[in-house]
Structure 1
Amino acid sequence: MAMVGLFWIAEGDVYVGAKPAGLAPGVRLTPEGVLALGDRQSGMWPWEDVHALAVEHAPVKSLKRHVGAAFDMALTLGLGGGDEAPTMTVRITDAADATTDLTAYTAPAVGYSRTEHDLSCALLARLTEGAGTLLTTLAAMSDWGRTHEGGTPRAAEREGLLREWVDG
């Protein structure tokens, strides 16, 4: 399993945000469509019905966020609770301009880098450009996940992968 931008790639599966465990909310991207996971959200949106795909409220790294996360962790440990990860919203817009908001947990505690965030948003937009682009891009992401070992790569490699997938 590895985090690349806003994506969590586990073997051949691609998730927006962290891979959910149990009944936790999450969003999986499949060749067939966008799949909502979790006990409070469900549904499948075939790619031909997805006009736009975007992420809102994804935390972006900053000094203020880093200090805040450290403070929150210290407070949580001191009070003995609150181990829930931050979430972001995955917004699906269909051809009729109706929107559906899904929840996904974020992977990093202090946020994503601005570059990885922006490249990930561009990649999500690319997935809605048509079947050929979608299938090629998702296949490249899945293939990388199946062959990659050793956890999450360093920032420069993650950014390189995202650029490669955006440029197709």
Structure 2
Amino acid sequence: MVGLFWIDAENVHLGTPGATATAEVLLTPEVLRVTGPAAGQWPWGEVTALTVTGAPVRSAGVRWAGRAATVAAAALDLWMPGSPEMMTVAVGTRDGAHVEVLVPSGAATAYTRREVDLSHALLTRFVEGTSSPALPSRWWGTRDGTGQLRSREREAVLEEWLAAP
């Protein structure tokens, strides 16, 4: 996970894919595809808006306190995993369509405000045609795949993608 993006060998998702998701938003270099009840597919030239609202954002202190509480509860065998927070992905198209899709957040506890802002800036570049979801896909292909990135590392990757021509 980097920002609002969940990247795997085959796809770039907004939010978390998987069994708990009733819908998915997939980003490819050619199209934006929505699965589930509001299914559709649009070439990037037809997409006029792409936003994510409801992404859980918390300060570093609150995120660390939440992690510590989870570890303590798990150690005492009191922890019950919760459902991820839901985010709304809104898609606008040239033909006037407006589609809203609920997707699970990929953040274990929450995103940083900067991570969400950088993700929105990248989504804007995808819509404008000045960048492509091929960037996260290429990054995934060169990554060694070990370990989870910390928030500052995720922010640095997003900044790198935004700086790419």
C-alpha change, 1:46 and 1:110, in structure 2 (3 Å) is same
Distance 2:108 2:3 in 1: 13
**How far apart are residue 121 of structure 1 and its match?**
0.6
State the secondary structure of the residue aligned to 2:117. Answer: helix
SS of alignment partner, residue 141 of structure 2: helix
Q: CA deviation at 1:111?
A: 1.3
1:2-41 matches, within 5 Å, as: 3-21=1-19, 24-38=22-36, 40-41=37-38
Checking the alignment, whether the CA contact within 8 Å between 2:58 and 2:112 is kept in structure 1 is yes
The answer (yes or no) to whether the contact 1:28–1:34 under 8 Å persists in 2 is yes
1:142 matches 2:137? yes
Write the distance in 1 (CA, Å) between the matches of 2:21 and 2:115.
27
Distance in 1, matches of 2:52 and 2:28, equals 17
How many pairs does the alignment contain? 156
Could you tell me the percent identity over the aligned residues? 40
The amino acid of 1:146's aligned partner reads G
User: Counterpart in 2 of 1:90?
Assistant: 89
Query: TM-score under structure 2 normalisation?
Result: 0.79
- Equivalent residues in 2 for 1:11-160 (5 A)? 11-21=9-19, 24-38=22-36, 40-62=37-59, 83-130=82-129, 133-134=130-131, 137-148=132-143, 149-160=145-156
Post-superposition offset of 1:12? 4.3
Task: After TM superposition, give the deviation of residue 53 of structure 1 in Å.
Answer: 0.8
Q: Are the equivalent residues in 2 in contact too, given 1:27–1:103 (CA < 8 A)? A: no
TM-score, normalising length: structure 1: 0.78
Paired with 1:145 and 1:116, the residues of 2 have a C-alpha distance of 18
